[in-house]
């Protein structure tokens, strides 16, 4: 029997998926993988009910481990975007009906998201660099470590509030008082964006690791390391926000 030939539409979809599912930045492998999969879904490259490429293929295309792909798929399944099916014809499929924002939800343009994130990079990477370049008091060091411990122990419903407190503490110990209200205003905008997307447990775990690395670099006086990790941290959030909200 002659094998059925792929339709032109399917060939186009595969070509588009190959373009979108390109290697991610390893510093934020999980967040970027979620973002790339969401981009593929939300741009309509794959139709509702259609299957994703196998995990092994996705891992190769994205340049990440199969564990990272598996965790990204699990998170998107919990958020209602994907469905996993077992058996001979099993695999991972787009949900027949994709989640939609609530009617009362706030809508943001890509320009809104980019503006908040770019300002955040300017403010918070600079704050981390400046904080690490100063001679901190014992009180500064205790404050930073205490805020880090608070966010690491935070329950999901309190995570973003305590996350904000840690980032504000970093701005405070940077030694430029006028920086703090700018960071606070930007965090308000950022939290409005973050409130529109699911709180992913693996992203929280990754953020906690980055938080610790940032604080340790500041306490060690390593300005470049503090700036580098903060940059990766900022753009991990960016990958998720663009994926869910664009």
CATH code of 218's domain: 1.20.120.530
Instruction: Count how many Cα atoms sit within 13 Å of the Cα of residue 13 in the half-sphere of its side chain.
Output: 17
Give the range among 210-214, 233-237, 241-245 with minimum mean pLDDT: 241-245
| DSSP bridge pairs for 83 | 93
Asked whether residue 127 falls in the same domain as residue 157, the answer is yes
pLDDT of residue 106: 63
Tokens of 194: 């973050």
Give the range among 4-8, 44-48, 55-59, 144-148 with minimum mean pLDDT: 4-8
In the chain, pLDDT over 90 holds for what percent of residues?
57
| Average per-residue pLDDT for the chain | 86
pLDDT above 60: residue 41: yes
Asked whether residue 231 falls in the same domain as residue 146, the answer is yes
- Residue where one domain finishes, among candidates 64, 94, 124: 94
Asked whether residue 79 falls in the same domain as residue 120, the answer is no
Asked whether residue 88 falls in the same domain as residue 114, the answer is no
Asked whether residue 90 falls in the same domain as residue 125, the answer is no
Q: Indicate whether 128 belongs to any domain.
A: yes
- Residue where one domain finishes, among candidates 67, 94, 121: 94
- Specify the DSSP element, H or E, that contains 92: strand 91-94
- Residue where one domain finishes, among candidates 94, 124, 146: 94
Question: What is the rounded average pLDDT of the residues 34-63?
Answer: 85
Asked whether residue 31 falls in the same domain as residue 122, the answer is no
Asked whether residue 75 falls in the same domain as residue 134, the answer is no
For the chain, what is the domain count?
A: 2
pLDDT above 90: residue 28: no
In this structure, the number of other CB atoms found within 10 A of the CB of residue 162 comes to: 17
The C-alpha angle 70, 74, 77, rounded to 5 degrees, equals 140
Range of the domain at 209: 110-245
Asked whether residue 120 falls in the same domain as residue 223, the answer is yes
Q: Indicate whether 90 belongs to any domain.
A: yes
Which segments of 81-222 does DSSP mark as H helices, in order? 110-120, 126-132, 138-152, 159-172, 179-194, 201-220
Asked whether residue 114 falls in the same domain as residue 85, the answer is no
User: pLDDT, tens digit, for every residue of 75-127?
Assistant: 999 989 999 888 777 788 999 888 865 545 567 888 989 999 999 999 999 99
Asked whether residue 146 falls in the same domain as residue 201, the answer is yes
Distance, in Å, from the CA atom of 235 to the CA atom of 116, rounded to the nearest integer, reads: 12
Asked whether residue 77 falls in the same domain as residue 178, the answer is no
Q: Tokens 């980032």 identify what position? A: 167
User: pLDDT, tens digit, for every residue of 155-187?
Assistant: 998 998 899 999 999 999 999 999 999 999 999
Distance, in Å, from the CA atom of 167 to the CA atom of 61, rounded to the nearest integer, reads: 34
CA neighbor of 35 nearest in space, from 67, 10, 62 = 62
Q: Indicate whether 105 belongs to any domain.
A: no
Q: Indicate whether 73 belongs to any domain.
A: yes
pLDDT of residue 7: 43
């Amino acid at each position: 029997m002659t094998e059925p030939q792929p339709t032109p539409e399917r060939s186009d979809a595969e070509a588009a998926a190959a373009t979108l599912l390109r290697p991610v930045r390893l510093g934020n492998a999980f967040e970027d993988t979620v973002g790339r999969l969401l981009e593929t879904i939300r741009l309509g490259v794959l139709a509702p009910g259609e299957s994703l490429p196998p995990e092994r293929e996705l891992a190769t295309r994205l340049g990440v481990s199969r564990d990272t792909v598996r965790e990204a798929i699990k998170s998107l399944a919990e958020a209602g975007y994907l469905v996993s099916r077992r058996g001979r014809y099993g695999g991972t499929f787009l949900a027949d009906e994709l989640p939609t924002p609530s009617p009362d939800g706030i809508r943001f343009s890509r320009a809104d998201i980019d503006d908040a994130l770019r300002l955040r990079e300017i403010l918070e990477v600079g704050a981390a660099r400046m904080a690490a370049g100063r001679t901190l008091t014992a009180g500064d060091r205790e404050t930073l470590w205490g805020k880090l411990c608070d966010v690491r122990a935070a329950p999901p419903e309190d995570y973003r509030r305590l996350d904000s407190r840690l980032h504000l503490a970093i701005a405070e110990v940077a030694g430029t008082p006028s920086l703090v209200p700018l960071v606070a205003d930007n965090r308000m905008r950022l939290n409005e964006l973050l409130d529109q997307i699911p709180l992913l447990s693996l992203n929280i775990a990754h953020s906690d690791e980055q938080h610790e690395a940032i604080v340790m670099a500041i306490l060690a006086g390593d300005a470049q390391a503090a700036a580098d990790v903060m940059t990766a941290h900022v753009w991990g959030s960016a990958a998720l926000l663009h994926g869910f909200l664009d």
